[in-house]
Amino acid sequence: MITIYDLAKQTGFSAPTISKALNGNGKLSEETRQTILDAAKKAGYTANMAAKSLSTKHSRLIGVILEDVSMKRGFEHPLFGGLLNKFRNEIEMAGYDLLFLSKHFNEGMSYIDHCRYRDVEGILIVNPIDDDEEMKTLGSCGIPCVSTNEFIPGVCTVVTDNEDAGRTAARVLYDAGHTKVGFLGAPFRENSPAALERFKGFKSELVSYGSDFDERYMEVCDAWWEGAGYEGMKRLWERCPDLTAVFVVCDALAFGAMKYLLEIGKSIPEDISVIGFDDDTTVLKAAPTLCTFRQDRDRIAQLASEMLLQEIAGVPSPEIVRVPAQYVNRSSVRRFNPAREMAY
Amino acid sequence: MITIYDLAKQTGFSAPTISKALNGNGKLSEETRQTILDAAKKAGYTANMAAKSLSTKHSRLIGVILEDVSMKRGFEHPLFGGLLNKFRNEIEMAGYDLLFLSKHFNEGMSYIDHCRYRDVEGILIVNPIDDDEEMKTLGSCGIPCVSTNEFIPGVCTVVTDNEDAGRTAARVLYDAGHTKVGFLGAPFRENSPAALERFKGFKSELVSYGSDFDERYMEVCDAWWEGAGYEGMKRLWERCPDLTAVFVVCDALAFGAMKYLLEIGKSIPEDISVIGFDDDTTVLKAAPTLCTFRQDRDRIAQLASEMLLQEIAGVPSPEIVRVPAQYVNRSSVRRFNPAREMAY
DNA sequence: CTGAAAGCGCTTACAG
DNA sequence: CTGAAAGCGCTTACAG
C-alpha cells in the first residue's frame, strides 16, 4: 500500500503538497502538480478512504434503506430493484458508493447510528419498514435524505404521479365504453399513499364524466401480493357482479384478481377488463397480458440521485417531485366501441 | 459526535482503556469495564468506522461484483437478486456491510483499486463482465474471494450442481417415455460452464440409458434471453422436427423456445415437452407453466458467506462447493406412460 | 489491571 | 507557491 508519504519522498515535496496536487485544490505550480500526478500514476497510488474520511468527515457513502416488508422480494421488488440499478449507476459516476442501512446490524443498531458509524453523507429511503418510528426522525437528523416512496417530514420525495395515473386509468376505461368500473386497492398508510392517490385520481376523473362513483365499487385488499388480490376481487365481485372493469392498484394484486375471475368462469377482457400497476415482469407473461402502468424507475432514480447529491452540496430540494407513469396497453381491456386514435 | 475521549473524560479512564472495554479485548477489571460500557450507552456512543478502519486495516466491508451483462437485469437477475438478499442478511448479522465494486467508479478505477480505496476485506464475485482480464488476478490479490458463478483460479466457487441437475432432467424425460430429446444451450464460456455442465449431465444420463445422444439434437443459443431462445429453438426444430422434448438451459430461453413452438402451431406439452432452468419468476405465470430447476439461492448465499467469513478469519476454503438444484414439476412435460411415484 | 506514546493516511489552517 | 504542525478517532505495543 503506497501512501502520500511515499510520493512525498519520491518527488521531494511535502505531504500537504502531494495532497493538494492529488485533490486539485489550493495553489500549486503546474509543473509540480504534473510531477506529482505522474509519480502517483507510476506508483499506482490509490488514496485510502478511511484516512480521507477521518480527516474530512466525508465518506462518499450513500446509505440506502431497502426493507421490503410489503412484498418480501428485496432486490427483486418490481419497482425498487430496477430503481436501484439506475441509482447505483448514477451515484457511482459521482464517486459515491452505496451502503445498505440495516436494523439487524451489530445487535440492532439504528439507521442513524449505522450512518454515524460509517459517516454516511446522504440517505436514500427506498422502502422502510411499516410504521417505523425512526423514519420520522430522519428528516431532522442532519443527514440529507431523499425518499422514493414514503412521505417523510422534511424529506424530499421523488415519486410517481399516482393521481395522474389514476385519472388516466379512468379515461382509458371510459373511452372504451365502460360505465360500471371498480377499484381494487391496497392497505392505506399515511406516509405511503400510493394506493390512495391512485384512487383519488381515478375517482375524480370518473366524477368529471358525470358518473357518480359508488363507494361500493371500491374494495381494499389486505396486502400487496397475489393472494390478497384474489380475496379482494372475490369480495368485490360478490358485492358488485355487474362490474365490467376494474382498476387494480398493483400487478401482483391484479394477477390474483384475474385468477379469481378466471376460476369463476369469467373471460378477460370479454366479461371483465383489468388494469394493473407496476409493469411487474413477474406477471408480464401471464395470459391475458395485463394492461398496466409503468413507473419510470430510471427517471425516479436519476432525479433522486440528483436531489440527494444537490442536498449534500448544500442546495435544498423541493418537498416533492412527481414523475409521470406510462400507460401500457396490452390485452386485458375490452373496447365496447371502435378504437380511436388515442394516447394516454 | 461523541468520541472515546469524551468517554475517557467522563469516566476518568484513559482512551486505550475505553477502547479495550468497548472491544472486549485486553485485561480489564469487570468493574471498570461495566462503568465504561454504561457510560458509553448513556452517552449514545457510536464508534467511528473510518478511524477504526484506519488503525486496524479492517473495514468490515465486503465487496460485491455484480455486473449483469448476460441478462441486463442487475438486482433483478432471477438467480442473483435472490442470492444477494440472503447474502446481505448473513453478512450484516456478522457485522459487515456490502459494498458494490464498480468499474465506472472514479474514472474507471479497477476492482482491486476500489477494494484498496475502501479497505475491503473480502470479495463476493456474483457476476463479472465476460472475459474481464482482471478476474484472473483476483485469486492472488491477497483479498479473500468467493464466487457464486464463475470459476476463477484460486477462488472458492459455490455453485449449483449443474451436472446432477442435467442428469435429473434426462431422467425425468426418460421416465416419462421420451426418446427423441433435444438440448438447447447457451454460449459456452470457459469460466462459466453452467450451460456445458448441464449438457454433460444430461447427455451422460441419456447415454447411460443406452440411447446414443445425437449431437444434432443439441443447439446453442446466442445469448441468455428470450429472443435467443426463440431463434435457437427455430434452428433446432427445423433440423430435428421429430423431437418430443427439449431441455433448455434457462427459463428465459425456454420461454422464447415455447413462444416459437406455439407460434408454429405446436402444443406444449402435447406435441413437445419443455424443461427449463432457474425457476425464473418472470416466466412463472406463463402458460403452459414451465417445469424447471430451482437453484437454491439461499443455500448458495449462505455457504458463500460462510466461506468468505472463514477465509477472512484465515481458514482456507475448498475450491468448489456444489449445491443441489430442485426439480420443479409443473405442466410443460408430457407423460407417455402412467405416472409413477417418483422424486427427482 | 491501567496509561503514555506513537501511529494509521490524510487534510486543514497557518506561516513563510 | 510550498511546508511544519496539529488533528481526525481509534488501536497497538510497551511500560509500570
Residue B108, min C-alpha distance to chain A (Å): 9
Residue among A75, A92, A286 whose CB faces B285 most closely: A286
Residue among A85, A98, A286 whose CB faces B286 most closely: A286
Successive 10-residue mean pLDDT values, chain A, 344 residues: 90 92 84 91 92 94 89 86 94 94 82 93 93 92 94 95 97 93 90 91 93 89 94 97 96 96 96 96 90 96 97 94 96 85 70
Distance CA A208, CA A169 (A): 13
Task: Give the angle A146-A110-A68 at the CA atoms, nearest 5°.
Answer: 60
Distance CA B254, CA B248 (A): 6
Is A253 in a helix, a strand, or coil?
Answer: helix
Q: What distances in angstroms separate CA A102 from CA B5, B243, B259, B330, one per listed residue?
A: 27, 51, 42, 37
Distance B16 CA to D12 C1' (A): 9
Residue among B53, B81, B89 whose CB faces A50 most closely: B53
Q: What is the pLDDT of residues B44-69, one digit of tens each?
A: 999 999 999 999 999 999 999 998 77
Distance CA B22, CA B7 (A): 11
Contact (Cβ atoms closer than 8 angstroms) between residue A163 and residue A153: no
pLDDT score, position B47: 93
| Region class of B57: left (phi > 0), else alpha (psi between -120 and 50), else beta | left
| Positions in chain C where some atom is under 7 Å from a protein CB | 1-13
Q: What is the pLDDT of residues B215-271, one digit of tens each?
A: 899 999 999 899 999 999 999 999 999 999 999 999 999 999 999 999 999 999 999
Q: Which residues fall within 8 angstroms of residue B55, CB to CB, at 6 or more apart?
A: none
- In angstroms and rounded to an integer, the radius of gyration of the C-alpha atoms of chain B is 26
Distance B76 CA to D9 C1' (A): 39
Closest by CA position to A249, among listed A284, A220, A273, A269: A220
Residue among A54, A100, A282 whose CB faces B97 most closely: A100
In DSSP terms, B97 is beta-bridged to B61
Residues of B in contact with A1 (CB under 8 A): 116
Residues of A in contact with B99 (CB under 8 A): 97-99
Kindly state whether B69 is in contact with chain A, defined as any CB-CB distance less than 8 angstroms. Answer: no
pLDDT score, position B207: 93
Distance CA A145, CA A157 (A): 9
Is A137 in a helix, a strand, or coil?
Answer: helix
CB < 7 A from strand C, the residues are A 1, 3-5, 15-16, 19-20, 22-23, 25, 45, 47-48, 51-52, 54-56; B 12-17, 20, 26-29, 31-33, 51, 54-55
- From the CB of residue B160, how many other CB atoms can be counted at a distance below 10 Å? 26
Distance CA A195, CA A187 (A): 7
Q: Which residues fall within 8 angstroms of residue B267, CB to CB, at 6 or more apart?
A: none
**A8: which nucleotide lies closest, measuring CA to C1'?**
D3
The segments of chain B whose pLDDT lies below 70 read: 339-342
Residues of A in contact with B104 (CB under 8 A): 89, 92-93
Q: Cβ of B3 < 7 Å from strand D?
A: yes
pTM summary value: 0.94
Distance CA A107, CA B13 (A): 26
